Structure 1
Amino acid sequence: MRRAVAQNGEASGGDLFSRIGAFLHDQRLSPEPAHYSFAYTVLSDPAGPLAKAVAELTDDGVRLSRSDIESLGGAVREGAAEEAENTGRLVEETHAQVEDLANVMRAMHDETRDFGRDLAARAEEMRRAGPTPGMAELARITGAMLGRIAESERRLADATRETDELRAKLAEARVVARRDPLTGLPNRRAFEEAYAAKQGGRLCLALCDVDRFKRINDGFGHGVGDRVLTAIADTLRVSCDGHLVARHGGEEFVVLIEGLTVERAAELLEDARAGVATKRFRSRETDRMIGRVTVSVGLTAVGADERLEDVLARADRLLYTAKSTGRDRLCVD
């Protein structure tokens, strides 16, 4: 990152926009005006104090933390995450409304069918009783009512079927909204819900970040980068079988370990880290060896009733320590 900022002074002004986009992507910042302004200030003056401070903090690929950005005068907006949160909430609310509608439609359908049956039975009783004054007109009215009831019943049956189909699609959308499409792992929303659902018990949380992932994307393309992420996700899933592994965003994964001491959890994560390090990746397109890919891990025990934000912040600091002391290692408190 230090070298990338230094090179900005030599690039053409027309290239600034693409470099801002790359900066936002690397630092996992959404394209909010506040983020754009911060990136512009950093990249438009590569010799300035802000650019130098950013280069120092992000030396050799370390990502800026929220506190880093805020200490440098920037602001962090949760635009993309908030949008995903709102979308998921809308799916939940719509699903609940459709559930209520389906129950109402089914009840109406049952009541209409029962009323039609009762009316038909009364009409049959009157027919068997023989002709009486006004019976013909009553039979005509009853027949018309039965016809209308039959039509209403048909429409209600159609509406109930369509409501059930919509409910099934929304149920599928709820699953999709909690699944990372690239790796198949639960996403951040699913992880947050799972954490909130945990009541007591022994828990540990780990953040795992792919080391120098930007070099893979830049050197081999995002397609190769995606395959590397998928392979690492599979390794973490197998190594941490029985525990929740989720994609937290970008090249970062989060693991919620239940029922183990922090020492045992460290052994589990150390096995996962070593498993990733032993893999060798090759570009399918060029047959070039990608080289050794590693992950750094920050692991911490979860306190009783501790907020997720506080646990993540502590794990992120440990992850930063792992990155800044050589990478391909686990740091635990």
Structure 2
Amino acid sequence: MVAAKAVRVASGSQAARGLYDRIGEFLVDQRLDPDPANYAFAYQLLANPDGPLARAVHMLTDGGVRLTRRDIETLGCDAPVAGTATATIEKAQGLVAQTQMQVEGFQDIVTAMRADAKDFGRDLEASAQAMRRSGGDDLEVTKLTATMLERVRYAEERLETANREANELRTKLEEARDNARKDPLTGLANRRAFEEAYAAEAAKGTRMSMAVCDVDYFKSVNDRFGHVVGDRVLKALGEALSDTCKGHLVARYGGEEFVVLFTGLDIKAARDVLERARIAVSAKRYRLRETDAPLGEITFSAGLSPAVQGEVFGTVFHRADQLCYAAKNGGRNCIRID
């Protein structure tokens, strides 16, 4: 009896230890800090591997993509699959596209109605003038014609207003579609736009290389100076990468992670461009706007890998991401190349 109880306790301890080890491996693999929020998220995920949270995480990380802190905040611990950030964005973009099509259809109808009203008004005016030249003196007909002309002119004005408003709405919808592919903090392309660009270039058979760049010791910047300063650092880094990598797509992939899609360059030329960006960022000295106190050196580590023709996005990203991880382990402020 005592032996059986001891076996059950030992078995339970082994299961708990196994879960604990898996949580630690998950946090290391995803490069997440072992803070209470991340630990709770990992526990909820791994304790119920077939639950809705696990399915949502699988959708986001399919192909080797890492979770970001924003993903975790969005998913929470009870998030349904339909509530993932990707599903929400796709639904919103679908509604925007549908509304834009309806607006364009409405504008076509308004344009046709306006043309018809204008033609009718012109014909009615010509008939009235013909009646006056012929000496017609039917007062009722003249009054009716004048009333109809007034109504036609009013209809033209209303249709002109409707056409102008439709134009303004279409412009706003186009901006909304653009913003759905833009990172709100840096103004760079976001993850979705970057992945779509990769797919488009891959379909054309373009020579490509992908870089994953991660700000070194970014957590310490937030801890020492606050998230507002951290956001400024991210914006400055995004600008530096965009300026140095002109002609190539730079995106903020999430958190402190940026990605660059080099097109039309061999891997050596892409590395040279990325190295210039690394030197430019590390040479700059950042200061607090309010006190002019120095922030210290800001650097990034990066992994760069060429895309083999036919490779899906996740495969190339995972390879570049692992190289970035190796760069961080190798001392930071450096580039690892495949």
TM-score (norm 1): 0.73
* C-alpha displacement of 1:233: 1.1
- In the other structure, the counterpart of 2:88 is 83
- Aligned partners of 1:61 and 1:214 also within 8 Å: no
Aligned equivalent of 2:31:
62
1:241 aligned counterpart, secondary structure: coil
Deviation of 1:236 (Å): 0.9
Contact persistence 2:22–2:46 (CA under 8 A): no
Separation in 2, partners of 1:60, 1:219? 26
> In the alignment, what sits opposite 2:162?
159
Alpha-carbon distance change, 190 to 290 in structure 1, aligned in 2, over 3 angstroms: same
1:186 counterpart (176, 184, 189): 189
Conserved? CA contact 1:180–1:247, under 8 Å: yes
Matched, 1:177 2:184: no
How far apart are residue 220 of structure 1 and its match? 1.6
CA spacing shift, 1:229–1:51, aligned 2, 3 Å: farther
Aligned equivalents of 2:26 and 2:274: distance in 1?
Answer: 27
Who is 1:107 aligned against? 112
1:144 and 2:144 aligned:
no
Deviation readout 1:246-301 (Å, 9 max, x if unpaired) = 11121111111111001211222122223323333333446554333321212222
In structure 1, runs of 5+ residues without a counterpart are 1-46
Q: Once the two structures are aligned, what percentage of the paired residues are identical?
A: 48
Distance 2:139 2:290 in 1: 84
Aligned CA-pair RMSD: 3.0
TM-score, structure 2 normalization: 0.72
Change (3 A) 1:187 1:303: same
Using the TM superposition, give the Cα deviation of residue 162 of structure 1 relative to its aligned residue in structure 2, in angstroms. Answer: 1.5
Q: Structure 1 residue runs of 4+, over 6 Å off?
A: 69-72
Once the two structures are superposed, residues 198-221 of structure 1 have per-residue CA deviations (whole angstroms, 9 ceiling, x without a partner) of: 322211111111123222112221
What is the number of equivalent residue pairs in this alignment?
281
Residues 46-96 of structure 1 deviation map (CA, whole Å, 9 limit, x = unaligned): x965445444564699349xxxx7888472165123323332333333223
2:262 to 257, 262, 273: 257
8 Å Cα contact 1:298/1:318 also seen in 2: yes
Aligned AA for 2:256?
E
Aligned to 2:335: 330
Structure 2 residues not aligned, in runs of 5+? 1-15, 34-41, 61-83
Q: Decide whether the 8 Å contact of 2:245 with 2:274 is kept in 1.
A: yes
Cα distance change on mapping 1:158 and 1:138 into 2, 3 Å: same
Range that drifts further, 137-146 or 94-103? 137-146
Residue equivalent to 2:315: 310
Aligned residues of 2:23 and 2:46 also touching (Cα < 8 A): no
Matched, 1:202 2:217: no
Matching residue within 213, 220, 229 for 2:234: 229
CA contact (8 A) 1:61 1:212 kept: no
Cα distance in 2, alignment partners of residues 321 and 124 from structure 1: 87
Asked whether the equivalents of residues 181 and 192 of structure 2 are also in contact (C-alpha less than 8 Å), the reply is yes
CA contact (8 A) 1:207 1:319 kept: yes
Q: State how far apart, in whole Å, the 2-side matches of 1:165 and 1:129 are.
A: 47
**CA separation of 1:129/1:287 partners in 2, compared to 1, >3 Å: closer, same or farther?**
closer
- Contact preservation (8 Å) 2:212, 2:320: yes
The reply to whether residue 217 of structure 1 matches residue 222 of structure 2 is yes
Which amino acid in the other structure matches residue 172 of structure 2?
A: K
> Alignment partner for residue 286 of structure 2, among 274, 281, 286?
281
Q: 1:85 & 1:124 partners in 2: Cα distance?
A: 59
Matches of 1:115 and 1:92, distance apart in 2: 35
| Equivalent position SS for 1:185 | coil
In the TM superposition, what whole-angstrom CA distance separates every residue of 1:225-255 from its partner, at most 9, and x where no partner exists?
A: 1111112112211221221111112111111
> Aligned pair 1:94/2:99, yes or no?
yes
Partner Cα separation in structure 2 for residue 81 and residue 201 of structure 1: 26
